[in-house]
Amino acid sequence: MHPFLAACRCLPTDYTPVWVMRQAGRYLPEYRALRARYSFLELCRTPDAAAEVTLLPVDRLGVDAAILFADILLVVEPLEVGLEFSKGEGPVIRRPIRSGADVDKLPERDPADTVPFVFETVRRARAGLGGRVPLIGFAGAPFTVASYLVEGGASRDFLATKRLMLEDPGAWHALLGLLGRTTARYLTEQIKAGAEAVQLFDSWVGALAPDDYRSLVLPHTRALIQALPAGVPVIHFGTGASGLLEAMREAGGDVIGLDWRIDLGSAWARLGAGVGVQGNLDPAALFASPPEIRRRVGGILERAGRRPGHVFNLGHGVLPETPVDHVRAMVDAVHELSARGRAP
């Protein structure tokens, strides 16, 4: 059995497990109802409500793991950079980090003290799950979190980030070092609180040239992954990262998360047999009819060749307008089409 599946003891082995990213996103009416009562940050800071959101997709969708309800940017909120989640805009950092002097001013704070509500959410979600499916914790990888801090929000070309990298490599390494150490502590606390696997999101790393990834990012991601407790599976995910797969594997992770821009079979061949893969249906494919969704699920399972170590997932988060019954149709199709040892 693949080590990832073996370590996640409550994952099924007689079919391909499936979960989705942003499974508790805005496409779920129950989530939207909670959001009418709480702002996004309030919801994250209220462990009972955040644990409830964490559990929602398990019953609603029949997925094989629950994903902690939190955000990759919670860990930078205590750095006093003015984090806000404004409507329509996504996350915004009001006081972005643009220079070595800005980096020097950043405090290095322990997440155990600054975001204890996240770990309380993990404990309550674990209790609520009662062992039905494993709980996956997560964090942003140093590059992706740094890109939000430097850009001040989402970006197309990541120019401010790349300028800091190139104009002041010392400041860049200091920033990624700080984020890497903080994130290692943050994930370790999630694991201590009960997370059974963790996913590291390097969502925007595909913006980088391979040489820059290797010299300016990989050492920090690798140090972070190496600092985590042994025996807890790590999923390492990037988008648009087809040019970086081998380097991401070197940085670490038991499973590499793929987006939909690459053929899963050839990506796995490049990565090698000793690592699992997660992916990789285009989130937009969920707007197709359920029979077409089923056909596409079948195509991905075929490319994975029924090898254990494949976790079915979307190539990125569920889009807010996605019909819930189409997400459910995808989950059911994965379970039915991948069932081993049963009549097809």
Chain residues that interact with ligand CP3, rule: CB under 6 A: 21-26, 35, 40, 67, 69-73, 85, 90-91, 138, 201, 203, 316-317
Smallest distance from the beta carbon of 273 to ligand CP3, in angstroms? 27
Stated as kind and residue range, the H or E segment containing 334 is helix 324-338
Token representation of residue 267: 């990506």
Token representation of residue 52: 């409830």
CB-CB neighbours of 217 under 10 Å = 26
Smallest distance from the beta carbon of 339 to ligand CP3, in angstroms? 25
Q: For residues 85 and 117, which CB has a smaller minimum distance to ligand CP3 in the complex? A: 85
Q: For residues 56 and 223, which CB has a smaller minimum distance to ligand CP3 in the complex? A: 56
Q: For residues 211 and 321, which CB has a smaller minimum distance to ligand CP3 in the complex? A: 321
C-alpha R_g of the chain: 19
Smallest distance from the beta carbon of 238 to ligand CP3, in angstroms? 9
Q: How far is CA 69 from the centre of its chain?
A: 11
Q: What are phi and psi of 17, to 5 degrees?
A: -70, 150
**For the chain, how far is it from start to end, CA to CA, in angstroms?**
22
Q: For residues 36 and 343, which CB has a smaller minimum distance to ligand CP3 in the complex? A: 36
List active site positions: 22, 26, 35, 71, 148
From CA 43, how far away is CA 313, in angstroms rounded?
A: 25
Smallest distance from the beta carbon of 19 to ligand CP3, in angstroms? 8
DSSP string for 156-189: SS-HHHHHHHHH-HHHHHHHHHHHHHHHHHHHHH
**Which single residue brings its beta carbon nearest to ligand CP3?**
203
